[in-house]
Chains A and B, each alone.
Chain A
Amino acid sequence: DGGITQSPKYLFRKEGQNVTLSCEQNLNHDAMYWYRQDPGQGLRLIYYSQIVNDFQKGDIAEGYSVSREKKESFPLTVTSAQKNPTAFYLCASSRRDRVGTEAFFGQGTRLTVV
C-alpha cells in the first residue's frame, strides 16, 4: 500500500537534546512538507522540499533543520534551539507537476519535552 510513514508515533526528549523525526513516503511524490500542530491552532508549515537536495523554510523554521537526500525521505530535526518543541508534528507529500493536487499526510509524531 502506498502511503506516508512517520516514526515514532510518540517521542520524549530531554531539554537541551536534539531529536530527529522520520518521514518516509512511497507515493513517488516529489514534494514533501513538515507541519506542526498546537492545541487550538491550525497546522503551521515548518519546512518544505519540492525536489531532492533542495528545501525551503516555511513560516516557523527557527529551531528546526531538515535534509532531503532521497526522494522518499524527509527527516526533521528538532534542535535544542527550538524554544517550545512540545507539539504534534505532521509530515505530508504531494505531486508538484500540477496545481490542485492535494497533500497526503502521515499519522503524526507527538513530541514531548520532559
Chain B
Amino acid sequence: DQQVKQNSPSLSVQEGRISILNCDYTNSMFDYFLWYKKYPAEGPTFLISISSIKDKNEDGRFTVFLNKSAKHLSLHIVPSQPGDSAVYFCAAKSGGTSYGKLTFGQGTILTVHP
C-alpha cells in the first residue's frame, strides 16, 4: 500500500520556467512533509518542509504548498536552473512514537534544459 505517491516519474522544463512537482498521500496521520533532492549514487539532501498546520512554506526559489483536504502537496521551483536536474522525493511522517520515520514517494526525475 503506497501511502505517498508521486504519479509523475519524470518532468522536463526549460531553464527559467517554473517546475511543479506533485505528491499525494493517503495517511491522515501524516503531519509533516518534506522534499528531498537526490543525485545519482548520492544520498538525498533535504530541500524544504512544511507542517500540516501551514499551507505554504517558501525558501528562496523553492515553495511547498499543502492542501490537506485533498491530501496533496506540491513543490514549485522558480526559476528552474539546470543544476536543479535531479530526482525529487516527497516524504511524510507522523507524530507520536513513530516520529522521525519517513515514508517516501517513488520520486520524480526533473530535467531542466538550458
In the assembled complex, the CB of A106 is this many whole angstroms from the nearest CB of chain B, namely 5
Instruction: Label chain A's interface by main secondary structure.
Output: strand
Q: Does A74 contact B (CB under 8 A)?
A: no
Pair A100/B32 contact, Cβ less than 8 Å: yes
The one of A31, A42, A58, A88 that contacts B107, using a Cβ cutoff of 8 Å: A42
Q: Does B41 contact A (CB under 8 A)?
A: yes
Residue with the greatest number of chain A CB neighbours at <10 A, chosen from B34, B42, B44, B103: B44
- List B residues at the A interface (Cβ < 8 Å): 4, 6, 9, 31-32, 34, 36, 41-46, 49, 51, 89, 91, 93, 95, 99-107
Pair A58/B32 contact, Cβ less than 8 Å: no
Q: Chain A residue with minimal CB distance to B51?
A: A100
Pair A99/B95 contact, Cβ less than 8 Å: yes
Taking residues whose C-beta sits less than 8 angstroms from the other chain, chain A's interface range is 20 to 34
Q: Inside 8 A of B103's CB, which chain A residues have their CB? A: 45
A-B contact count (CB 8 A): 66
Q: Chain B residue with minimal CB distance to A95?
A: B100
In the assembled complex, the CB of A88 is this many whole angstroms from the nearest CB of chain B, namely 8
The one of B36, B44, B49, B89 that contacts A100, using a Cβ cutoff of 8 Å: B49
Pair A43/B44 contact, Cβ less than 8 Å: yes
- List A residues at the B interface (Cβ < 8 Å): 4, 6, 31, 33, 35, 40-45, 48, 50, 58, 88, 90, 92, 94, 96, 99-108, 110
Q: Inside 8 A of B31's CB, which chain A residues have their CB? A: 99
Pair B107/A48 contact, Cβ less than 8 Å: no
